[in-house]
Amino acid sequence: MRVMGQPAQHTDETARMLAAAGIAVTPEGKARARARLDAAAEKFDDEQRVALRRVGTAAA
Amino acid sequence: MRDTDVRLVLDESAIAAYLFGSIGVGETIAEVLDEGRRYGISVAVLAQVVAAADKVGRDLVRLLSGNARCAVLDVLAGDTDRLAEWTRRLGSLGRAASVVAALDRSAGYLLTAEPDRYGELNDTGLIIAV
């Protein structure tokens, strides 16, 4: 699926990179991405990150 | 060297989704770049993708990995035991290298089109599915 609309703000190089794959980013799409990133940050705290960094180490 | 400004690590499935025009991958990359951050790809993943791609795919992967805001992330000898354990758990060196790369960056997250392949990790916020 391709979403047409006003391009979001990013560099020409990035716009070319996305356009080459047929991707057009809209403000609505960026809002969806923002929500994904914020949800991830809310769900994954530093304690979890530190614990998972120990996997496979002598400290595990 | 650790690229501390890398916010998003793309796994093999996220790169494949980009090749097929995934809006979810494109908008997430664009949002991270507009934050002033970068995205990254483990060299282990990049090698797998390039090996499997045809010429058109390789050209697109070069655009993706050659972007000034993309960091191609080294696999470090000192991480061998961690990579081995994650490879055992996840069944793929590429997924293991992506996980380690995302975990080692203070605000790093892993972008994937195959979240179910990450088992228990898929229940954490480390994994962002598109």
Examine the pLDDT at B126 and tell me if it is beyond 60: yes
Report the candidate in B121, B116, B122, B119 with the shortest Cα–Cα distance to residue B13: B116
pLDDT of residue A11: 77
Q: In what order do the strands lie in the sheet with B6-10?
A: B70-73, B38-42, B6-10, B109-112, B127-129
What is the chain B residue with the closest CA to A19? B21
The residues, ordered by sequence, that sit 6+ positions from A9 with a Cβ below 8 Å of its Cβ are B34
> Least CA distance to B109: which residue of chain A?
A40
A8–B23 C-beta distance less than 8 A: no
Per-residue pLDDT of B3-41, as tens digits, reads 779 999 999 999 999 999 999 999 999 999 999 999 999
Cβ-nearest to A10 among B20, B22, B33: B33
User: What span, in angstroms and rounded, lies between the C-alpha atoms of B129 and B109?
Assistant: 10
ipTM: 0.91
Q: In chain B, which residues touch A (CB < 8 A)?
A: 7, 18-34, 59-60, 63-64, 67-69, 81-86, 89, 99, 103-104, 106-107, 109, 121, 124-128, 130
Instruction: Tell if the CB–CB gap between B27 and A29 is shorter than 8 Å.
Output: yes
Q: What is the pLDDT of residue B3?
A: 72
In this structure, what DSSP letter does residue B105 have?
Answer: S
Q: Which residue of chain A comes nearest to B101, CA vs CA?
A: A53
Q: Identify the pLDDT of residue A7.
A: 44
pTM of the predicted protein model: 0.92
Residue recorded with tokens 């293991």: B96
Which pLDDT belongs to residue B105? 94
Q: Which pLDDT belongs to residue A10? A: 58
The answer to whether A34 faces chain B, any CB pair under 8 Å, is yes
Residues in chain B: 130
Tell me, what amino acid is at B5? D
Question: Whole-angstrom Cα distance, residue A15 to residue A23?
Answer: 9
A4: pLDDT strictly greater than 50: no
What is the rounded CA–CA span in Å between residue B5 and residue B118? 24
pLDDT at A3 over 60: no
pLDDT of A8 above 50? no
Give Dmax (Cα) for chain A: 52
A5-19, A22-36, B70-84, B91-105: lowest mean pLDDT where?
A5-19
B23 → closest Cβ in A13, A29, A34: A29
Tens of pLDDT, residue by residue over B76-112, are: 999 999 999 999 999 999 999 999 999 999 899 999 9
